[in-house]
Amino acid sequence: MNKEELKLSIERTIKVKYGKTLDKALDYEIFNALSLSLLENIVDDWNETTELYAKGKQAYYFSAEYLMGRALGNNLISMGVYDEVRELLEELNININKIEEIEEDAGLGNGGLGRLSACFMDSAATMEIPLIGYGLRYNNGLFNQYVEDGFQVEDGDYWLKYGDPWSIRKESETQVIHFEDMDVKAVPYDMPIIGYGTRNVNTLRLWKAEPLKEFDFKLFNDQKYDEAIRLKNRAEDITRVLYPNDSTEEGKLLRLKQQYLLVSASIKDIIKKHKEKFGTVTKRLGELNAVQLNDTHPTLGIPELIRILVDEEGLTFDESLSIAKCMFSYTNHTILAEALEKWDITLIKELFPRILEVIQEIDKRFIAELKAAGYSGNAIKDYRIIYKKQARMANLAIHVGSAVNGVAKLHTDILKETELKNWYELYPEKFQNKTNGITPRRWLRLCNPELSSLITEVLGNEDWVRDLSLLKNLEKYVNDKSVLNKFMSIKHKKKEQLAEYVKENEGVTIDPDSLFDIQIKRLHEYKRQLLNAFYILDLYYRVKEDSNMDIPKITFLFGAKAFPGYKRAKAIVKFINEIANLVNNDKTINGKIKVVFVQNYRVSYAEKLCPAADISKQISTAGKEASGTGNMKLMLNGAPTFGTLDGANVEIVNESGRENNFIFGLEVEDIEELGKNYNPKDYYEKNPSLKRVVDALVDGTFDDGGSGDFEDLFDSLLEEGDQYYLLADFQSFKETEDKVFEAYKDKEEWAKKCFLNTCNAGIFSSDRTILEYAREIWMVERKSL
Ligand code: 26Q
């Protein structure tokens, strides 16, 4: 790209879009103009990639969530023009960081599952895999979070307020979606996914619901003004807002409509393209297209495909079902059986009666097969797709899908041995593991340019950005003082940058010379932020009692959103903030401990936190976290894991060595053994330091604003059996923290631990994961422009 041309393009865009000259443009106007000018440069490659992929077998990722974060910085890196553009802006007296910071995060996801889809998009483009993402273009993404008086306060997220320069509305590729009570348009907005180090540009296609008729003039003429507006709104409501995963009954109907709109529009899009090529639908449909269901949310795609093939394309039910069996595969992201999605059949019938008939037909045939194979009624009932007037989406996905995968080795083993044991016995050949990954572009190259430069300098080139396994070649420098010193001074620099940002955004001063202990993830009881909080409070009490206590200066950082209806999660936010308030304002501890709960944790905040961590806190109850991906981001940026043997932590520790991490607590087998005999009161009574911090919930130490929330937390532990084993793991947690403090004293040994974590993170690249999906599930080949 030519600098001068880019400059002219920016100026032109500012002129026609905002009616002014560049020197008068506001930051967001520059952001939009720059983005559009960059887009101009990739559109030809984008179209070429689309055509190239259409020639062979393609894969589709069906996901209700894409937690994309910001686009600009990432796209500049992928296009290989970041430095060039920074210089150009500098010449124009514009600071690139300010322009990057003006961009709103595209927060179209709740957490791990949504961010995984975003990483997969990036990896597929970079690995030149013919993968198209299908999703929904919510007007409002995940809510914004503020902390007021220690409580979480939510605010709507209108991410489109400055426009959306990276999307192209493809009006002409609109699909009409039929619901029993109305028809609506699904209009695609395409986002380019720019591969790194390749000309390939993949597509993320997000559907927006709109009324068939923008405005009903007849109603208007009849003076039914409200009615005219109401119809428009009713259509647009479908993609108005992303559902948080705690959503209660009220919103259910709309959520189901969302899911159907997503899959119906996407399946129609796939069939349309197939017919453009072959004239009619042939058996080859299943051979040329592979659909990955990201959890059960898009599972209605299965009956929707069959409905269209049977009712509109004239295939038989058998033919259609066998095409579906060939096309779909399903990824499971949750361990808890009770969390698997079920829909009341009355609801399905109300919205799309024909879809219910198709599901019933699949169920009927399946039962006949099981009977013929000699299964008894009792065994059959667990396999039923429709049972007790509910459609079980996971059963539908597993029965029809050609593959089922878990997202980390431990998770897949648990699925096979416990949660989905019966299915594994029935279809052992379908089960696979695909350990999650993260994209090295965003989670190292973009968020940590300083460490990236060092790696490039030591390895001699930038190949590692596309092949993260090359980081292993750094390992031989583990005793090289000069490399280690540079590595650790980069860590320090990232801590300084974070401290500055935290000061600005949270108003709290933190010391970059202190140990940064970071726990960032959704707020959930099983992730045990409360256990971390108890530990911090205990540490504070001990420091207060003994001002000479030998610990390093330490800063605990939390980032987490609690879902609006999840009372206990919100109580934990308040509890952490109460502790922060107590600890940060106590002059007598000389600032030895600081606690910060950062507001509005999101992708762009994670990019600042991950590179600055000295310790990565991953402390879920063993067996509960399917994989985790934040753990990989912190590891890649050189932080040892302080965690349980859960999810991908097991593989992290295997890769980087147990001696370079801090593993504590009960393991899956221990918990199985303890099982019903677990009595949290034993631990509470016998451990005075534990008792002291748990009692702080109810003894007036802290104020929950009269809500009774802290008493409820107390009850969850001592009256309701502490189902996440906080009390059982407290002592081990504490002893392991002591090991951290001990290890942290030896700066050189510490640096080695951090360094070895980076060296061994290569396997956790989502490039590796996406290639496994491509080869072992989708059977699609790399295709390069
Ligand atoms: C369900 C019904 C109604 C509304 C929302 C939902 C819903 C939405 C999102 C249910 C679940 C989710 C998200 C789940 C999730 O993020 N799971 C995480 O997936 C990661 C990627 O595989 C794993 O690393 C995490 O361990 C897992 O918790």
Long-range interactions of 186-189: CB distance < 8 A, separation 24+: 186/210, 186/261, 186/264, 186/265, 188/265, 188/269, 189/137, 189/164
pLDDT digits (tens, 9 = 90+) for 34-82: 999 999 999 999 999 999 999 999 999 999 999 999 999 999 999 999 9
220 falls within a domain: yes
Once rounded to an integer, what is the mean pLDDT over residues 129-156? 98
Q: Which residues line ligand 1 (CB under 6 A)?
A: 110-113, 116, 243, 245, 247, 255, 333, 341, 407, 436, 625-629, 647
In a domain, 336, yes or no: yes
| DSSP category for residue 640 | -
Are 202 and 333 in the same domain? yes
427 and 482 in a common domain: no
Q: Which atom of ligand 1 is nearest to the CA of 109?
A: 9
In the predicted structure, residue 338 carries a pLDDT above the cut 90: no
Buried b (16+ CB within 10 A) or exposed e, 681-712: eebbeebebbeebbebbeeeebebeeeebbeb
* Residue 464 sits in the same domain as residue 406: no
What is the rounded average pLDDT of the residues 526-544? 98
pLDDT band of 251, cuts 50, 70, 90: low
What's residue 228's pLDDT? 79
pLDDT score recorded for residue 248: 54
Q: What is the pLDDT of residues 382-398, one digit of tens each?
A: 999 999 999 999 999 99
Q: Which residues are catalytic?
A: 333, 521-522, 527, 629, 633
- Give every CB contact of residue 85 below 8 A, 6+ residues apart in sequence: 6, 34, 38, 76, 96
pLDDT tens digits for range 259-302: 999 999 999 999 999 999 999 998 899 999 999 999 999 999 99
The ligand 1 atom nearest the CA atom of 115: 21
Asked if 389 and 444 sit in the same domain, the reply is no
Mean model confidence pLDDT for the chain? 96
Output Rg (C-alpha) for the chain, integer angstroms.
27
Specify if 191 maps to a domain: yes
Nearest-CA residue for atom 4 of ligand 1 = 245
Q: Is residue 43 part of a domain?
A: no
Residues 137 and 184 in one domain: yes
Using the atom order of ligand 1, give the atom closest to the CA of residue 114. Answer: 16
Q: Same domain, yes or no, for 418 and 451? A: no
Q: What are 466-504's pLDDT values in tens digits? A: 999 999 999 999 999 999 999 999 999 999 999 999 999
pLDDT of residue 657 exceeding 80, the answer is: yes
Spacing of C-alpha 147 from chain mean position: 23
Domain shared by 415 and 495, yes or no: no
Is there a domain that residue 171 lies in? yes
Evaluate if residue 247 carries a pLDDT over 90. Answer: no
Cα(406) to ligand 1 centroid in Å equals 13
The pLDDT score that the predictor gives to residue 695 is 98
Distance from the alpha carbon of residue 391 to the mean position of ligand 1, in angstroms: 19
Q: What's the structural domain count of the chain?
A: 2
CATH number at residue 140: 3.40.50.2000
Same domain, 447 and 361: no
pLDDT(314) > 70: yes
Atom 12 in ligand 1: which residue has the minimum CA distance? Answer: 245
- In a domain? residue 27: no
pTM of the predicted model as reported, rounded to 2 decimal places: 0.98
Mean local confidence (pLDDT), 709-726: 97
Residues 186 and 209 reside in one and the same domain: yes
61 lies in which domain range? 54-69+105-436+770-778
Nearest CA to ligand 1 atom 25: 628
Kindly tell me if the per-residue pLDDT of 769 is higher than 80.
yes
CA of 754 to the centre of ligand 1 (A): 29
Residue 742 CA, ligand 1 centroid: distance in Å:
37
pLDDT at position 229 is 85
401, 459: one domain: no
Q: Tell me what the mean pLDDT of segment 218-237 comes to.
A: 83
For residue 159, the CA-to-ligand 1 centroid distance in Å is: 21
Which whole number is the average pLDDT over 535-556? Answer: 96
The residue-averaged pLDDT of 104-122 equals 98
The amino acid present at 155, given as its one-letter code, is D
Q: In the predicted model, is pLDDT for residue 246 greater than 70?
A: no
The Å distance, Cα 21 to ligand 1 centre, comes to 46
Atom 5 of ligand 1, nearest CA residue: 245
Best residue among 260, 296, 299, 333 to mutate for probing ligand 1's pocket (most ligand atoms within 8 Å of CB) is: 333
Atom 8 in ligand 1: which residue has the minimum CA distance? 245
Q: What is the pLDDT, as a whole number, of residue 662?
A: 98
635 C-alpha to center of ligand 1: Å? 22
What pLDDT score does 580 carry?
98
**Does residue 712 lie within any of the structural domains?**
no
pLDDT over threshold 80, residue 306: yes
Residue identifier of the C-alpha nearest atom 14 of ligand 1? 113
What is the share, in percent, of the chain residues with pLDDT greater than 90?
A: 94
- Do 523 and 664 share a structural domain? yes
Q: Check whether residue 586 and residue 547 sit in a common domain.
A: yes
- Return the residue whose CA atom lies nearest to atom 19 of ligand 1: 113
* Residue whose CB lies within 8 A of the most ligand 1 atoms, among 119, 245, 434, 646, for a mutation test: 245
Question: How would you classify the pairing of strands 328-331 and 289-294?
Answer: parallel
